[in-house]
Structure 1
Amino acid sequence: MIIALLNQKGGTGKTTLALHLAGELARDGQRVTLIDADPQGSALDWSQQRAREGHPRIFGNIGLARDTLHREAPDLARGVDHLVIDGPPRVAALMRSALLAADLVLIPVQPSPLDGWASAEMLSLLTEARIYRPHLAAKFVLNRCGARTIIARETAEMLADHDPPLLASSIGQRVVFADAAQTGRLAREIDDQSPAAREIAALAAEILRLDIRRASS
């Protein structure tokens, strides 16, 4: 399956989710490659930091921030079980290419009505992509949310009847994610029993239960 994490709005935590989702999918011996399609290269920076710290490689990570991604991704996907794309913010050509490459699009949003409204441009691109990929699946995922806060509940309610729908799993605002980014590790490697590790595991399990098949190329 090719999973793209995309949102035109920056700061939604795409890279953190992409890295942790790739790591979680790779836990049981599945072959996973992460494509860093963001010109900022934050996922590649994380991998380089991981190597400097001497941590073992658990999934492949390559940079591919160009608008030919949709033509190159199918070949890359043939050698793995899952391909995770960390998409770019506000680069329409790259975004379109990532959408055309994906089987599933995850749209991270923070618990704020403004984040929901800011996704309008992203949804317009998704609608455009479905002209060519009518079976392209998409889901919102609530990220960086404070537990039991009113704004988190209101955002979830706002997206409840939305298309795309909201995943049941949500990811909290956790200090461990910042530690993971700085040290080239994953939350599970820092504390296997942490709320962050459990939330990422629940997210990965929910995505796999969707049983989305890789589109034929």
Structure 2
Amino acid sequence: MSGLVITVAQQKGGAGKTTLAVNLAVALLREGRSVALLDTDPQGSLGRWFMQRREALGEAGLEFSTSSAWGVSYECEKLRKQVDVVIIDTPPKVDSDLRPALREADLILVPVAASHVDLWATEGVLDLARREGKRPKIVLNRTKSKTRLGDQVRDAATQLEADLVEVTLGHRVVFAETLGQGLGVLEAPRKGAGHAEVTALLHALLNLE
């Protein structure tokens, strides 16, 4: 799995891109993988999480870098040689600036909160990915179990030119709490449903045993 690049992209803000990126990173660390985070979003949420993590733990345990959209290829070339997995967090927009991050990706993840608006917002990302010859995976985020809306969004997602990941992340306070602390859900004091979801998601995405 050396040098794997995962790009997290979604046109709509607030879909959970950074939450997904950091929780996958922490899950990979706990699997013994080396990880680098690459933040291309000018909002810098991933960078703030990283600095909070250093302050909380003393040592982040992973690499962190920032890049302009068009510097992604250069940064990925360097980071691929240093770590097992590079995770790229992208801005909430879809234009030509996103294409380098999609082009470099071995795996493209599109987080979708449980709403039709979020689902509609995936169309631009999926179109750009198709132009790069890539087929993204949709990860349903902030889902509420046994709701009609959740079922409708899941059904609609299966009609898109992407693969729907069966494992979903629930609408849980622990995701926001740990993010603000510079941690991942797997580092929360108590193991709960979020812990199980993140672990299952990582294994579903990367076929880990």
One fold, TM greater than 0.5?
yes
Letter in 1 for 2:10: N
Partner of residue 169, structure 2: 171
Q: Tell me how far 1:91 sits from its aligned partner.
A: 5.4
2:167/2:201 contact within 8 Å kept: yes
Q: Could you tell me which of 154, 157, 165 is aligned with 1:156?
A: 154
Going from structure 1 to structure 2, the CA distance change for 1:55 and 1:201 (only over 3 Å counts) comes to farther
Q: Tell me how far 1:82 sits from its aligned partner.
A: 0.8
Q: Tell me how far 1:141 sits from its aligned partner.
A: 0.6
2:146 maps to 1:143: no
Going from structure 1 to structure 2, the CA distance change for 1:75 and 1:53 (only over 3 Å counts) comes to closer
SS at match of 1:141: strand
2:55 maps to 1:52: yes
Q: Tell me how far 1:198 sits from its aligned partner.
A: 0.9
Q: Could you tell me which of 66, 86, 89 is aligned with 1:86?
A: 89
Partner of residue 35, structure 1: 38
2:15/2:112 contact within 8 Å kept: yes
Pairing of 1:1-217 with structure 2 (within 5 A): 1-90=4-93, 92-130=95-133, 136-209=134-207
SS at match of 2:142: strand
SS at match of 1:140: strand
SS at match of 2:33: coil
The C-alpha deviation readout for 1:2-51, integer Å capped at 9, x for no partner, is 10000111110000000000110111221111111111110110111122
Letter in 1 for 2:142: R
Number of matched residues? Answer: 206
The C-alpha deviation readout for 1:74-124, integer Å capped at 9, x for no partner, is 221122111111111115233111111111100011111221112111122
Letter in 2 for 1:141: V
Structure 2 stretches lacking a partner, 5+ long: none
Looking at structure 1, the residues matched to 87 and 140 of structure 2 have their Cα atoms a distance apart, in angstroms, of: 18
CA RMSD of aligned residues (A): 1.8
Percent of pairs with identical residues:
35
SS at match of 1:172: coil
2:6/2:87 contact within 8 Å kept: yes
Q: Tell me how far 1:68 sits from its aligned partner.
A: 2.3
SS at match of 1:171: coil
